[in-house]
Amino acid sequence: MAEETQKSPGATVLKDDQENEMTISELAASQRIVDENSVFKKPIIKIENVEKSFQVGKEWVKILKNINLEIYPREFVVILGPSGCGKSTLLNTMIGLEKASSGRVIVRGHDITNFSLDQLAEFRLKKFGVVYQRPDWIKSLNVIDNVSLPLAITDIPRKYRLDRGLELLRKFNIDHRANYSPTTLSGGQQQRATICRALINNPWIIVADEPTGNLDSDSADNVMKIFLSLNQDAKRTIIMVTHNIDYVHYATRTIYMKDGEVVNKKINI
Ligand SMILES: Nc1ncnc2c1ncn2[C@@H]1O[C@H](COP(=O)(O)OP(=O)(O)OP(=O)(O)O)[C@@H](O)[C@H]1O
Ligand SMILES: [Mg+2]
């Protein structure tokens, strides 16, 4: 059986007694150690006994099974697990895109479980920056309009919304593509633009579902460096699903999932 060691609040590493290609101690050693003083003890997200079932035909299939998790401010959490184990469903439940069948999801002290769809949409826009595996552009809008779109629900005048969008595009070296149609950008450029869109509301929690899944290795490394800097320099909390075990090195904690459960040991993915 695997046992857990608490290195610092919210920075759990795993100790395992079974042999793996990469031992748990090696894996833990490769993770970044968070300065204990920089991590607050109060979780920013708390998931309590969450279960999620989907109806497939006449049957209900349980996809998430009794998940209990706490995410702390300034963590960089990587979620690893085989395809179909429920990673995206977990992420979507955390941000209120999916409603838990039972259990509670508490974000910054707010129990979002019983929020209405409108409340959830607004809450998501205000509290989270979300990056998906495939960019979901509004194709009739150019890059800058897409990037600044989340601000449209605020009463910030359009000029300022666009200024903020341009400032972000500049930061990520794609301001020269501001007036292009988003789908004409390269994969790496598009993903950087989706990160700009996720950051436009200045969120403290950034959630990313396989953000490098469709990128070549150089573009993927570049995107990972951006996430690292957002975590280390801008002090953002990052929760990222990936298939790439190498990205454990960027994380302060790795969560392994299998068959809808969080497991306390490294698994082969
Ligand atoms: N809306 C839905 N209706 C029915 N089944 C669903 C629904 N959404 C997800 N599932 C099922 O839940 C399971 C977990 O899906 P999920 O997308 O969370 O997996 P994942 O771990 O993110 O996989 P991948 O690594 O391939 O993205 C899959 O079997 C999927 O078919
Ligand atoms: Mg997925």
Rounded Cα–Cα distance for residues 181 and 145 (Å): 10
Which pLDDT score, from 0 to 100, does residue 255 have?
94
5 pLDDT exceeds 60?
Answer: no
Pocket of ligand 1 contains residue 56 by CB under 6 Å? yes
39 pLDDT exceeds 80?
Answer: no
Residue pair 260/86 in contact by the 8 Å Cβ criterion: yes
Nearest protein Cα to ligand 1, atom 8: 89
pTM of the model as a whole: 0.84
Pocket mutation for ligand 1, best pick of 58, 60, 63 (most atoms within 8 Å of C-beta): 63
Q: Which fold has domain 3-136+191-263?
A: Rossmann fold (3.40.50)
Which pLDDT score, from 0 to 100, does residue 15 have?
34
* Domain spans, the chain: 3-136+191-263
Residue pair 71/54 in contact by the 8 Å Cβ criterion: no
Nearest protein Cα to ligand 1, atom 2: 54
Distance 158 CA to ligand 2 centre (A): 34
Residue 35 binned pLDDT confidence (cut-offs 50, 70, 90):
low
Show the tokens assigned to 217.
Answer: 């290795």
Distance 259 CA to ligand 1 centre (A): 11
Pocket of ligand 1 contains residue 157 by CB under 6 Å? no
Pocket of ligand 1 contains residue 260 by CB under 6 Å? no
The mean pLDDT of 180-194, rounded to a whole number, is 93
Residue 189 binned pLDDT confidence (cut-offs 50, 70, 90):
very high
Pocket of ligand 1 contains residue 57 by CB under 6 Å? no
Distance 24 CA to ligand 2 centre (A): 24
Share of the chain above pLDDT 90, in %: 65
